[in-house]
Each structure stands twice: as C-alpha cells, then as structure tokens.
Structure 1
Amino acid sequence: MVLQVKRNENAPPRAFHPHNSIKSIGSRLRSSFHDHKRTHRARTAARGSTHASKQGKHKRTKTSHSATLDFEVATMPQTSMDVEMVDAEPQPRTTKTYRLPKDLLRPVLPEVSIKALVDVDPELTEDLPIEYIRDYMEELGPGLLRAAVTVVANPPKDALPKEIAITVNDHSDYPPPTHMLAIHGRTTSDAPGTARRQVTLVPLHSVVLSLHCARLPKLSPSPSPPTYLSDDRTQLVVPVQPLCLPSPPTFNLLSAFLYTKRADHLLKSLLPCPPPPTLDDERAKGLPSFATHLAETYTAQALLRHINSVHGLWQNACVLGVLIDELWDMIDLAWEVLLTAMAISQGKAHLMLRRPSSTPPSDAASSSATPEPTSTASTPAP
C-alpha cells in the first residue's frame, strides 16, 4: 500500500539533526536530571506520604459471600420499518440477567525496568531513576497529549501498513508522537472469515505507554531523530504498532489518563454525570447519596452502559499492567458507585450499602475472607 504524502518540492525524506529538531523526551530528561535532584526528592517524598495515607483511608474489606451481584435489565425491542405501522403489533420487552463481580481485583505487577525504557527511547540512559522519569513526565504529559491529539493522518483503506505519514498541527516545542497504535479487539469465533476487523488508529508517545505498563508488548523501533517530511517539522513518518485489547473503545480514556494523571477527569468520564468534588474523600457519606441520585435520574440501560465502560477500562488496565494506583482507585470508586446505583434502582440497596457496625472486622478475618488477587484471576486472557 502506498501512502500519498505531499512534500516540499518533491524532496526525499530526510532526518533532521538534533540541534535543528524539537528537543526529544530523552534529551530533556538527561539535561534536567542533575538540576532537579533535590526538587525531585522533596516532591517524591511528599507524594509518597500523601498517597500512603490515601490508600489506607480508602481501603475496603472485600468479602467472599457476596462476590457477584445479579441485575435484570430490560432490553429494548427492535421496531421494524413497516409501512403499515398501524397494523404492527407491539413487541414485548424482554429482560436479561447480568451477573457482575462486586469488586474488580487488582493484578500483582512487576516494576518497569529502565532497560525497557531505553529500548523504546535510546536517548534515555540507565542511570536515570524510574521515579524521576515519572515525576518529570507528569509535568511534560499534558503538552505531549496536546501534540498527539492534533495529529492528522490518512487512514489506510485496504491493509495496515508498517508505517504511516502524519501531520502534527501543534506549534509548541513538544516532540511529536513516536508511534501510531492500531487498536483492535479479539476476533470472535462466530465472525465470518471474510469479516473486516475494525481498527482504530491512535497516535502516542512510546515512553508514556512503556513507563506505566508492565505488560506492554514490545514496540517496533521508531526513527531517532524522527524522519521529517517537511522543513517546518509538521510532517513525519512513524511506525504502525498493532495492539490487541479486550476493550478498544475505552483505550482513549486510558491513554489520556497516562498523559495527564488527572484522576478527577477520568472519574467524570466513567460516570453519567459529574460526581461531587468530595466524593473520593468522603466516600462513606457521599457515595450513597450520589448513587441514589443516579438511580433516580438514569435508566438501568444507561447505568449498564457506564458499567460496561468501567469494566472495559479495567480489562485494558489488567492486560497492559498499568502501574498507577490512582487509576485503580478511580476504577474501584466508579464501579462501586454504579453498582450501588443499579442496586438501589432495583430495590437491592442492601447488597451494596452496609449498615455501620460497632465492631469493625479484624485484619485476620478480612485477609482470610478474600485471597490476594493474582494475574490469572484478575487479568483477562490475552
């Protein structure tokens, strides 16, 4: 397949020299490492103490006697486009039972190695601490996301190419995406052999994905420095990387979070309406009230759509092995809110809302009730 790319005066592609190009992520990290050592230590220590207190505050006991919940949701009948609508007989509604896990388990994941990052960005060096890279990328992430979302490309029509020409419409000094991910789902057994697989192209910086995903498949190498097709550095060629995920529609939610780390934005995207600002901090008090509001405002079908979205995001996070606790916290919170709302709407509030007990369960009892999640139990099969 040949991609038609407009070039300046039909000039062949050429690689810009580093001093003429936008500064890469690796070179930014190396040049700033020594200047930010003290600041990094202070910020990392502060973040660690805050995160530890948050984790302890929101830790919930998971019991084995109510591992799943059953909900009945009415399916909307399909109306046929009959000319004689007056004579058409109304089709009865049917209900479908959905069995949902009460808790979405977190997989036990290994840490990402610095060698894996050097493999995707050779300008990184193995003396850079992983935590420092994450700290620096948290500042760089929003700008990188702006560069990624402005990308325009002509999608292939027949077959997936190994590389693709893109145009970056961001005029800031952030480096362009390094890869074009070709996101697709698994082929179902009942799909015909000639059926076309739906593929979504997503431009992305390889370091952002590799830094936070312990189970990410090996990415194809990208040119360093980038192979630009125009003197203004707006057109370049990047490799196409196929990536099979359980839930392709929810990958954009995950990728945006990996760039920005905005847990509040992610939570809003997972729920039918914006939650109270203090929901995460005052869960015991605010969650029942907010869930009741959702149950009284939205249909079971609408709640189920959001439940499916949260579950799809959880599946993708398990398969990729995302190492960000805040992501799992928001998945847990959104899942609890939506299941509580569904339970309230069907008169089963007692399945999710527990009455306060004067005697809290002991640590020994809670640890024996629920086994530690394992990769086999909590990760969808690849």
Structure 2
Amino acid sequence: MPSTTSIARPSRRTDVSRPSSRRSQTTRISGKLECAAQAQVLAQKRRIPLATKYNVNSNVAASPAKISLPRTLPRPVLGEVDLSSLVNAYPNFTGIPADYIRERLPSSTHNMRAALQAVEISVCKSSLPKELEILMNDVVAAACPTHILAVYNDAPLGFGQKRHVSLFPVHDLVLRVHCAGLPTLPLSQPSTSSSHATIPVVPLRLPSPETFPLLHAYLYTRQPATLLASLAHPCVSDLVQLATHASKIHGLWRNACTLGVVDPQLYDVIEASWGSTIAAMQACS
C-alpha cells in the first residue's frame, strides 16, 4: 500500500497575533517530509532493484518488472572431503592428505578428459536404468569413466510432464577428492578388456543441472582463468540478457554449495563474475 502522511487539521479560529508560530510549524512539517524522502532514497540504494521494460520470464514486452538480486553470493564454509570414502575406492591413497591429491590431480587428467569426450551414451528406456553399457575403444579404455551421473532438479512439474534427466560420465576420483557433500557412490571398477563396459548410474539432484558441465570441467582442470572467461558477462546494455547470465552464475554457485566443493579459487571466480555482472546490470538499469 502507498504510504500516507497524516497532518492534523487546524482549528477554525485563526490567531493573527502569532504568524511566526505558523511558519515554524510549516517548516517542521516540510523538514519531516524531506527527511522521510531522503530515508526512502537511502533505503532503495541499499537494495538492488533493477527495473526493466521486459518481463524476465518472457520475450514479449510487458509492464515494467523488477529483478532483485543479492549484491554478493555468500561463500560457504569449506570443510574437507571424507577420506574414508576416497580410500575405500583407492587404497593406494591411504595416508595421503586430500589437498595434496587435489593439487596434483589436474596434471594427470588429460586421458580422463579425452575419455569423457569419447564416451557415447544412449538410453532407449522411459525409466532410468541402474547400469548402462558404453562402447569401449582405445581412448575410453585409457581412462574409463567409473560412473554415470543422472543429474536432475526438483522443480515442480505440470500435469503430464516428465522429469528431464541429463547423463554425465564421470570419474569418481575427481568428484570424491573435491566434493565434501557428494552422495555415496557405489564402488565401480569397469573392465576394459572387452568391447563394452558396464557403468553404474547414480541419480544426483542439483539446483542447476544446466550449469553442471561448467563445474564438472573445472574440477578436472582447476584453471580459474578459463572458468572466469566462460563466465564473462555479455557486453550489452540489455538487462534481460544480463539477468539471464546472472542466473547462470547463480546456478553454478548453488551447485558448488550443494556438492560442498572444496576449492577457494572456484568461489573467487564466482564472486568476481557475480560482482562484474551486477555492476553491468546497475549501469543499464
């Protein structure tokens, strides 16, 4: 509801002998209204309501809408991965600190990344299977994925709609050593001696499945500059496009928090990208 200002109605009797009292009262009222207006302006500056002529949920021009975004994305408290789950899958890492493994892993993930690109997955069933077979070749056999993540979100579905699931081949070592909040993965040691390998399928609910490839790729390379370049906002003055880009950064941040990613550099990149995008939105609002 719009705010209103109540001013007491003066009595019908007019006192002409004290004109300074009336001027003083008028001055006090004007001063109060001016202070209230300034307080309202300062309160608006503390928020980031960004006005646009377009509804962000539609490409059609509509009545002015407001996009309210936080100035910063809070950095989660970084814990540490459960070494027991890592050692159970990889006994050779017994007694080795997880941060030591994280620092040296990117130098040995070239074959892993090549194998991920070479894997072909096809599902011909309406329900999600517990296992899938992948075709084995020399590239895949060099660093065969251990699991297939079935990534989805829990957004409400309309009548007759089906849940969309995206499948991603992964190496559990990379995920286990980086993600303190990773759900339990079944042990998997796919055989590479035949033409096919059977890989367990693991359902994984994430806030933003569409941005999981960004996070997944970063965990293999740990190259902040590459991730920062992929999160650079478009050089436009279109608030809707910038808001769409902001949702991409926000989705990446939510996924990282959900999985408990233990990597300060990742959150440095997210904070820098978010701040740059918010500044660009403020400049064109």
Distance 1:170 1:303, change over 3 A: farther
Please state how far the C-alpha of 1:251 moved relative to its aligned partner: 0.2
State the distance in 2 between where 1:132 and 1:245 align: 27
State the distance in 2 between where 1:265 and 1:200 align: 24
TM-score (norm 2): 0.77
Distance 1:173 1:140, change over 3 A: farther
Matched, 1:312 2:279: no
Please state how far the C-alpha of 1:170 moved relative to its aligned partner: 5.7
State the distance in 2 between where 1:197 and 1:135 align: 37
- In structure 1, what is the equivalent of residue 72 of structure 2? 103
Distance 1:163 1:343, change over 3 A: same
Query: In the TM superposition, what whole-angstrom CA distance separates every residue of 1:80-108 from its partner, at most 9, and x where no partner exists?
Result: xxxxxxxxxxx753232111000100111
- In structure 2, what is the equivalent of residue 94 of structure 1? 63
Secondary structure class of the residue paired with 1:201: strand
Contact 1:147/1:168 (CA < 8 Å) preserved in 2?
Answer: no
The one-letter code matched in structure 1 to 2:267 is: W
Contact 1:210/1:216 (CA < 8 Å) preserved in 2?
Answer: yes
State the distance in 2 between where 1:337 and 1:214 align: 28
| Range with greater deviation from structure 2 (207-216 or 171-180) | 171-180
Contact 2:115/2:142 (CA < 8 Å) preserved in 1?
Answer: yes
Secondary structure class of the residue paired with 1:152: coil
Contact 2:56/2:240 (CA < 8 Å) preserved in 1?
Answer: no
Query: In the TM superposition, what whole-angstrom CA distance separates every residue of 1:156-188 from its partner, at most 9, and x where no partner exists?
Result: 431100000112556387421100000001141
- In structure 2, what is the equivalent of residue 7 of structure 1? none
Secondary structure class of the residue paired with 1:227: coil
| 2:51 aligned residue (72, 80, 83) | 72
Secondary structure class of the residue paired with 1:94: strand
State the distance in 2 between where 1:307 and 1:77 align: 14
Alignment of 1:182-331 (within 5 A): 182-188=150-156, 191-192=158-159, 194-222=160-188, 224=189, 226-228=190-192, 230=194, 235-273=196-234, 294=235, 297-331=236-270
Distance 1:136 1:173, change over 3 A: farther
- In structure 2, what is the equivalent of residue 129 of structure 1? 97
RMSD: 2.5
Query: In the TM superposition, what whole-angstrom CA distance separates every residue of 1:123-159 from its partner, at most 9, and x where no partner exists?
Result: 4342222233112212112331221121102124311
Count of residue pairs brought into register by the alignment: 242
- In structure 1, what is the equivalent of residue 147 of structure 2? 179
Contact 1:271/1:334 (CA < 8 Å) preserved in 2?
Answer: yes
Distance 1:109 1:165, change over 3 A: same
Identity of aligned residues (%): 35
In structure 2, the gaps of 5 or more residues are: 1-43
